[in-house]
Amino acid sequence: MSLPRGTDPFALVETYGSPLYVYDAEEIRARYRRLAAAFAATGLVTRAHYAVKANMNAEILKLLRAEGAGADCASPGELRAAARAGFAPADISYTGNFESSDDLAAARDGALYLNLDSLEAFERLRRLGVPETLGFRVNPDEGRGAFAQINTGGELSKFGLSLDEVEAAYSRARAAGVKRFGLHLMPGSCILEAAHFGRAVAQLLERVGPRLRALGLELAYLDMGGGFGVPYRDDENELDVEAAAAGVARAMREACARHALGAPRLLCEPGRYLVATSGSLIARVVATKRRAERRFVGLDAGMTSLMRPALYGARHRFDVFARDAEGRAVAITRRAPSPADLCGPVCESSDFFEREAALPEVAEGDLVVFREAGAYGFVMSSSYNGRPRPPEVLLDAGRTRLIRERQSLEDL
């Protein structure tokens, strides 16, 4: 999604400076409501725990909490942010990776649903004292993701227990005093195919189910992770989240009946789906350059503000705005005869938003608004090259509010 209708990017830049992140609160609420309704329609006891890593701004956490979401955290820092936004431990899951003893102590005290990543983590937790409810993240045989870098399953993945560790994990947990057991999976991120989700749950339960049954264990919860995708390109379709939820519920009911796993609560951990489309990154054209046949358009935002293109080769659609004679913002849609490389000001050769982009003729001072920047945008930004991290602004009920100040030079 682009900026909400009637939003003047020039007015925002005048007030808050450039580059800046802008989020539309109503869009986040609408996404949450659609996803929560899709899971509620399954008739199961379900809850969506927002994956804080996607965007941990305190105002966004509070907004999602007010809607009824729980929170999924991956570090003590995220746990602290969630607690400060008002989430209680019963609303929080913790799914980490290579958890240290400090991580585990924070997670045990701060989250009811603790999904351990390895047998070693369990041994460390045992020394600290195990909680009554405990889950394990089990690595599905296959992973998926929009890019290889965001595939989190399969034998090359660093996440979770492997299947042959399942019996040892749950039997040791029971022996240590755990009373309620959970199972977590997370095969990958940014998946648009609805059938994937039910298939992943069915496959994992097919393999884990007999092992739990052999131990006589039932599941108190199944946490299916996140991964709900959003389109980043014109030729991609919206995820049918209703079909995804229905498919997961069907797979879970069938497998739980077949392997006598009880009636677990179903948790999910959506990050991107809830916040990506709400957010835009606004950047200003600083200069253009021509070299031989090539045109370079340089912005005041680069890989330090939005890292996904440089890191994954991800692309973000964008709109370009100029001011008309009356000072109003108008979208420039007329394409220039040749494409241009859209780049940032960082001293790195990978600092490009897009090579050979279909850009109009632009001039210094025009604004480029990148779409779908609400997830994994600000949170992955850095101050490399001495570039302060951008501010964040929330649009809600026709008003704009600064929800994080631009990092100061003093702070650097």
- Supply the residues annotated as catalytic: 347
Structure tokens at 221: 């919860």
Any contact of residue 72 with ligand LLP (CB under 6 A)?
Answer: yes
| Out of 227, 345, 374, 390, the residue judged to bind ligand LLP by CB under 6 A | 227
- Tell me the DSSP string of 20-72: EEEEEHHHHHHHHHHHHHHHHTTTS-EEEEEEGGG---HHHHHHHHHHT-EEE
Structure tokens at 102: 């400090």
- For residue 119, the minimal CB distance to ligand LLP (Å) is 18
What distance in Å separates the CA atoms of residue 117 and residue 95, rounded to the nearest whole number? 7
Any contact of residue 186 with ligand LLP (CB under 6 A)?
Answer: yes
For ligand LLP, the closer CB: 10 or 21? 21
Choose among 175, 193, 262, 281: nearest CA to 229: 193
- For Cα atoms 322, 324, 325, give the angle at the middle one, nearest 5 degrees: 145
- For residue 6, the minimal CB distance to ligand LLP (Å) is 29
List, in sequence order, every residue forming a beta bridge with 330; answer none if it has no partner: 322
- For residue 229, the minimal CB distance to ligand LLP (Å) is 7
For ligand LLP, the closer CB: 138 or 320? 138
Choose among 63, 187, 79, 59: nearest CA to 71: 79
Residues between 149 and 168 that touch ligand LLP (CB under 6 A): 150
Any contact of residue 9 with ligand LLP (CB under 6 A)?
Answer: no
Supply the angle between the helices 25-40 and 58-67 in degrees, to the nearest 10. 40
Are 106 and 167 in contact by the 8 Å Cβ rule? The answer is no
Any contact of residue 270 with ligand LLP (CB under 6 A)?
Answer: yes
Torsion angle, alpha carbons of 37, 39, 44, 48, to 10? -100
Question: Interacting stretch for ligand LLP, rule CB under 6 A, among 46-54, 249-257, 315-323, 335-343?
Answer: 46-54
Any contact of residue 281 with ligand LLP (CB under 6 A)?
Answer: no
| Out of 42, 55, 75, 189, the residue judged to bind ligand LLP by CB under 6 A | 189
- For residue 337, the minimal CB distance to ligand LLP (Å) is 33
- For residue 127, the minimal CB distance to ligand LLP (Å) is 24
Any contact of residue 272 with ligand LLP (CB under 6 A)?
Answer: yes
Any contact of residue 22 with ligand LLP (CB under 6 A)?
Answer: no
Any contact of residue 376 with ligand LLP (CB under 6 A)?
Answer: yes
For ligand LLP, the closer CB: 150 or 362? 150
| Out of 308, 316, 371, 389, the residue judged to bind ligand LLP by CB under 6 A | 308
Report the residue number whose CB is nearest to ligand LLP: 226
What distance in Å separates the CA atoms of residue 105 and residue 128, rounded to the nearest whole number? 7
- Tell me the DSSP string of 209-233: HHHHHHHT---SEEE----B----S
Give residues in contact with ligand LLP (CB under 6 A).
Answer: 51, 53-54, 72, 95, 150, 186, 189-190, 225-228, 269-273, 308, 376
